[in-house]
Each structure stands twice: as structure tokens, then as C-alpha cells.
Structure 1
Amino acid sequence: MVKKKNTFKVIDIFSGAGGLSLGLTWAGLDVICAVDNNEFAVKTYQKNFEHPILCEDMKNISKGKLFSKVNFKDEEVDVLVGGPPCQGFSIRRRGSDTDPRNELILEYVRLVQEIRPKLFLVENVPGILGKRGENFLNEILKLEHEGYLIKTKILDASDYGVPQNRKRVFIVGEKLLEGKSFFEFPKEDEKVGKKMTVREALEDLPSPLESHKDHPTVPNHKREKISEINQLRISYVPQGGGREYIPEHLQLECHKKASVEKAGHRYSYGRLAWDEPAGTITARFDSFTRGKFAHPEENRTITLREGARLQSFPDDFEFIGSKVEVAKQIGNAVPPLLAKVLGECLTRALIKRNRKIN
């Protein structure tokens, strides 16, 4: 169970299972409340944190509802954080540029306007900076008319100790204090010298049971059943390779017709490499048919716990739900180690603000 540490108060909306909350807590911030509308993510969050979480549609959330939940009256929230659903902005998503999930960013902006935190942080995919995200990014930028300075940066989780290449956009708004801002993104010298590899992240984990039962000591570490033909297919794939190594007579018809480079097919039936960081852990990493999610040596998909480790979750962080639900929680999370780095940046800014006031 994660313990609270200091007096800088944070509310985490669109919290999911709690990757962002966990990292911010590691940085010493006091997450006082969270909100998400996925019942399984909420159960996971409740399992791992002491503070309350609301299972609500964000459209039904208001400042009054949040503050009553944590018995707040007029106290000021220091930081509002959240990662609104990002799939609508993904450059890999096919179809129309219009996606109803994108509108949840407007709910985030509304809550910033209601709560007026000293700082706010938004996490999303780099696609939000492109055509699909232009209108919604502009809504965030409008907060500059309400006294916030907006800063944006793309960070790669592998630069901060996470064993995974994962680029995400972080947007931070700071309420100007006497015309000044104090928040700064992590500097170059805060990056790790050597990136963590899959081997360093996974090698000490016992192999999941051949019986496909839950592991007796490691939560969420279960070998999933796969068909004999998929076991045969993946057996041809070397470390770091993909479906191009599978003999033609075993390939799916759709793969025979598609270029290896074609979006949506390139990394399917892929295998992780021991001595490199993993690729991005997605919400569907529970099957190597959807990406480079096969174990480096064994002919199987990585377990949910192995995926959680590649996201930098500790082993005592237990996930609740079906295989699909847990994979979604893990894949959608902000890696806690990256969140910790951002939490330290937020803390430094808040301390400087206090010194300015005092």
C-alpha cells in the first residue's frame, strides 16, 4: 500500500490503475484523490493506494464533488494531473479524424478552470501535436488567457530508467506568480547514462508455470495459452525480429498480402530482444500477434507481470481484472519511474513558489 509523504496536494483524473499517482508519490507528492470510469482500473487503484478514488464518468465530475470526497473546503490543490484517453490522437489509428474520446480533454480543461491548481499536467501521445489533436491542444493553450504559462515536451521513458522505448507528450501549465513561472522539465543531465534492457528488467523473474495456473509468489505472472500453430510460428522468430521470419506457408493470408512495413502489421508476431529496451508496451501487449510482445527466448507472449515490469511497476503492485482488462491498465499507464521524474520537477517548482511567497 502506497503511503503519503508531504503537503503538496495532487488530484489525479483519468488515473487508470495509478502509474502516474505511484510515481508522483515516489517523488514525495501527496495524491489525495483520483478519478477514473473503468471499474477494474478503480479496483486496482483501491488495492494499491490508501486515498479515495471515484468511479465516475468525467462529465459528471465537478470541483464540489471532488472536494467533498476528500473533505476539502477552501484549500487549494497544488497540482491537477491526468492522461485523457489518447487512442483518438494516435497516428496508427485508422479512419476518421473525429473521435469522441478526444472530447475528454475538454473535461480536463473545464476542471482546471474550476479548481485553479498552481500547476497542471497532461500526458498524451505525440499525435496530439499533429492534425488530429490541433483543436484540442488549442483548448489547452486557451488557459494562457487565464494566467497559466503552458510548456510542452516529448519525453522518452527509456531516458529515465524505464526498460522501454516510449515517447509521450507532457503538457504542463503553471499559474504565473507575479508574472513568473518556476516549472522546468528534466534537464539532459537527469537522463540515465545507459538505458535499461529487457534482460535487466525480466531475467530474475521465474518462468511462469507450464500448467497455465497463477504463479504462487508473483502476482499477475501467468503463462497464457496459445495455439500450437502460433507456437510454431513464433519459434522461427529470432530476438528483435518479427513476422518476416515466419515461413510463407505458416503466414496469415493478410500478412502475405501486406508489406512488412505496413502500419498495423510491421511488429506483429515480434519477439523482444534481451539486450535492448522493449518497444512501447500497448494496451494489447497480452498477445504477440499484435506486436513485439513475445518473450526473448520462450515461445510465448510475455506475462502481465513482465509487461508491468517493462512499465517499471514494482512486483507488489497488484492488478485486478481479466487478462484483457489488466493488459489495458498496464499498457495505458504512465510508467511510474517517468512519473517520479516529473513529480520531482513539479516539487521543485512548488518549493520555489513557496519561497517566493514566504
Structure 2
Amino acid sequence: MTLTAIDAFAGAGGLSLGLSRAGYSVKLAFDNSQVAVDTHRKNLSCRAEVLDAATTSGDELLELAGLKRGEVDLLAGGPPCQGFSLQRRGAREDPRNLLVLRYLDWLEEMRPRAFLMENVAAIQSVRGKHLLRAVEEAAQDLGFQVHAAILDASDYGVPQRRRRAFLVGLPAGTRFSWPATSVERPRTVGDAIRDLPSPPEDGSVHPSIANHYRESRLSQLNIERIKYVPQGGGREYLPKHLQLACHQGNHRHLDTYGRLSWDEPAVTITARFDSFTRGKFGHPEEHRSITLREGARLQSFPDDFVFLGNREEGARLIGNAVPPLLAQAIGQSINSALSGIDATASPEPVQMSLWGAGTAAV
């Protein structure tokens, strides 16, 4: 059954891609980043626009989507999550957090049949739990039955440990179950990227693999550092003369200056995975950070999904995305619920190829 969807805070389109594979026709995707929208337009066929979520009304979204009130089956999206990050320091309140409350306005103005909201698991921390509670209570007042869970992407075929909080709102009385685990064992870094050739030594993009190039800023000092780090290790393996002064005696953020392991899922791919100084983002064997294409595979994007912008922009688009495989799994569960199918009896398996070819038509 084909359902209509609007993808808010869409970024490069990981959620749109997954939903399209789950049977949705995405009528509109929007984000406040031009490079994100340009990337979305390049890879996906739905309408994508640069919009400011703080000032765009539900009526405007409906007009752009070519839909009327009540015709949206699913309002989906992940409001900016940096304000909830446990790694963030400073004041508890962050203006970006208030974008979560835009859902309340849009739900009332558009009256979608269902909604999906994704965010970092830390939204349940002191920085965000009051906003979550406000969304849940307001959604219930509008007649939604709200389901909340923290899911790990590695349970759904994504070769990465990535825990995210999800809220699903459905008409009261609708039967819903979260997607069943779709893999017998977690996919590993080796499963995802071992077959990729080494990127060109001169830093140029691989001639046949998009976004596959080396980090140009990796200094000789950092190359020397990464040589000491084994697979799965971090900065604790660095000799004292190569450690930063701020790291000596500090047991936080041990993954920095780290390598991935072939035999394990990746750590969470963040918006700064473009540098191994930011986390466990070194290649398992080669003395370099992983490429954007390797990061995209670890997020379950297909190889023909091309990311625009420079390396830093590409890493942000990839790291902030909802993994398409996880988006597809959740989308199928919502589709089953809206279609009146008992998903608990025979859950539909995730069919999307981890990095299969073919641009999605949404």
C-alpha cells in the first residue's frame, strides 16, 4: 500500500530513501541547508526545498506537497539533535531543542494520520525529556496513541552501533509493533567496506567510486599516531610522547585517535567521522581516516547515493542521517499498522540491499 509522507529536517535523504523503500511516496522533504537539499534532489525524485522550520507553517508545507489537511499519511523527521548531545557542554537550554515543538504545530495544522520523530537517545536526558513529554501529551490530546522506544541500528542490518530514540504516533486503537530484528548477527565493518579499493594516494576521488578519497588534512604527526593504534583501539595505545597534554590522565573520550575493527560493527558514525582525531574513525588497516564513501556504507547508503559539498559538509550529511535500512524497517511497521496488518504475526523482512544500485523514486 502506497502512503504519502512529508520528511522534515530531511538532511541528505536517509529517512526519505528508507521510507520510499517501505512503500511511501514522499511528497515533500525540507531542510535549512542548501547542500543537504541539493544532495537530496540529486539522489531522490521527490520535491525538496530549503525552508526554515521555525517560521514555516503546516499550511505552507501542505501547499508545497500538493496535499490537503488530513491527506498526509506520515509526518516524519529528526529535529536537530546537537542540543541534546551528552558530549555537549554549556547551558542546558539550546534554541535548536525548541524545534522539537514545531511538531506540535504541524500535527495540529496538517492532521497527518501518523507521525515519526527520531532523535539521539540523549533526548531522554535532562536537556530534552521535558520536550518529549510535551510532544507526547500534546499528541495524545490530538487523538494519537504514542509509542516510544530506543532502537539500535545494528539490529536492522546497519553495520554500526547506533542507538536512537523514536516516537511514533498513530490513531488511538491502532495495533503497532516495533520492527523485529532482521539479522541473525550484526553486520561488521568488514562486511561493509572490506571490498572497497584503497582510495588514491594523491587525495583525488576514486575514478569510479563517488566520495571515496583520503583526508587531505591528516598530518604526518597524526599518521605517526595512527600507526601505533591496533584494530578497535584508541588513544590509550599512543606512546606518551604522542599523547596530547589534555589526554594524559583523562579517561574520557578514549575512542579518539582510534581505529575501527573489521570484525565488529562500527561505532556511531557522527557528523565529524571525517577525522580519526574525533573518534574511532581510522581505517582498520590503512594509516588514514575512513572516506566519506566508507562512512556512507556504514550508514547503509547505496554506492550510487552521491553526497555533495566538501569533505566536512559530506561527513555532516552522512553522520546526521537516519540510516536508510533502519528507516525502512520502522516505515514498514508504521505502514503495516496504518494498513491494518498484524505486524506481530508475520513481520515483513527488510529487503533493501545494504549498498545496492538504483536511485530510489519517491
Name the TM tier (shorter chain): over 0.9
Matching of residue 235 in structure 1 with residue 230 in structure 2: no
Query: 1:272·1:296 contact (CA, 8 Å) conserved in 2?
Result: yes
Q: What secondary structure, in the 3-state scheme, does the structure 2 residue paired with 1:159 have?
A: helix
Displacement of 1:182: 2.2
Name the TM-score, length of structure 1 as normaliser: 0.92
Q: 4+ residue stretches of structure 1 with deviation over 4 A?
A: none
Matching of residue 273 in structure 1 with residue 261 in structure 2: yes
Displacement of 1:75: 5.6
Per the alignment, residue 350 of structure 2 pairs with none
Per the alignment, residue 209 of structure 2 pairs with 218
2: CA distance, partners of 1:83 / 1:67: 19
2: CA distance, partners of 1:12 / 1:86: 16
Q: What secondary structure, in the 3-state scheme, does the structure 2 residue paired with 1:122 have?
A: strand
RMSD: 1.4
Per the alignment, residue 192 of structure 2 pairs with 201
Per the alignment, residue 163 of structure 1 pairs with 159
Query: 2:6·2:65 contact (CA, 8 Å) conserved in 1?
Result: no
Per the alignment, residue 183 of structure 1 pairs with 176
Listed one character per residue, the Cα deviations across residues 296-335 of structure 1 (whole Å, up to 9, x for unaligned) are 0000000000000000000000001111111001000010
Q: 2:276 aligns with which of 288, 312, 317?
A: 288
Query: 2:174·2:338 contact (CA, 8 Å) conserved in 1?
Result: no
Displacement of 1:213: 0.5
Residue range with higher mean Cα deviation, 47-56 or 304-313: 47-56
Query: How has the CA–CA distance of structure 1 residues 74 and 120 changed in structure 2, closer, same or farther, with 3 Å as cutoff?
Result: closer
1: CA distance, partners of 2:68 / 2:193: 46
Residue range with higher mean Cα deviation, 128-137 or 66-75: 66-75
Letter matched to residue 234 of structure 2: G
Matching of residue 53 in structure 1 with residue 48 in structure 2: yes
- The 5-angstrom pairing of residues 1-358 of structure 1 reads 7-73=2-68, 76-142=71-137, 143-176=139-172, 180-187=173-180, 190-225=181-216, 226-256=218-248, 258-259=249-250, 261-262=251-252, 265-352=253-340
2: CA distance, partners of 1:351 / 1:298: 48
Displacement of 1:135: 1.7
Listed one character per residue, the Cα deviations across residues 158-195 of structure 1 (whole Å, up to 9, x for unaligned) are 0110000000011001122xxx12222113xx331111
2: CA distance, partners of 1:34 / 1:21: 8
Identity percentage of aligned residues: 53
Per the alignment, residue 349 of structure 2 pairs with none
Count of residues paired in the alignment: 340
Runs of 5+ unmatched residues, structure 1: 1-5, 354-358
2: CA distance, partners of 1:144 / 1:72: 24
Letter matched to residue 198 of structure 1: V
Query: How has the CA–CA distance of structure 1 residues 74 and 94 changed in structure 2, closer, same or farther, with 3 Å as cutoff?
Result: closer
Letter matched to residue 70 of structure 1: A
Query: 1:46·1:52 contact (CA, 8 Å) conserved in 2?
Result: yes
Displacement of 1:73: 3.6
Letter matched to residue 314 of structure 2: V
2: CA distance, partners of 1:161 / 1:145: 36
2: CA distance, partners of 1:27 / 1:73: 23
Displacement of 1:126: 1.1
1: CA distance, partners of 2:66 / 2:133: 34
Listed one character per residue, the Cα deviations across residues 238-264 of structure 1 (whole Å, up to 9, x for unaligned) are 0000011111011111112x42x32xx
Query: 1:117·1:175 contact (CA, 8 Å) conserved in 2?
Result: no
Per the alignment, residue 3 of structure 1 pairs with none
Listed one character per residue, the Cα deviations across residues 101-128 of structure 1 (whole Å, up to 9, x for unaligned) are 1000011221111111111000011111
Query: 2:58·2:105 contact (CA, 8 Å) conserved in 1?
Result: no
2: CA distance, partners of 1:350 / 1:141: 19
Displacement of 1:154: 0.6
Listed one character per residue, the Cα deviations across residues 207-259 of structure 1 (whole Å, up to 9, x for unaligned) are 10001011111000011121111000000000000011111011111112x42
Displacement of 1:84: 0.3
Residue range with higher mean Cα deviation, 38-47 or 63-72: 63-72
Q: What secondary structure, in the 3-state scheme, does the structure 1 residue paired with 2:294 have?
A: helix
Displacement of 1:74: 5.0
Q: What secondary structure, in the 3-state scheme, does the structure 2 residue paired with 1:294 have?
A: coil
2: CA distance, partners of 1:270 / 1:97: 30
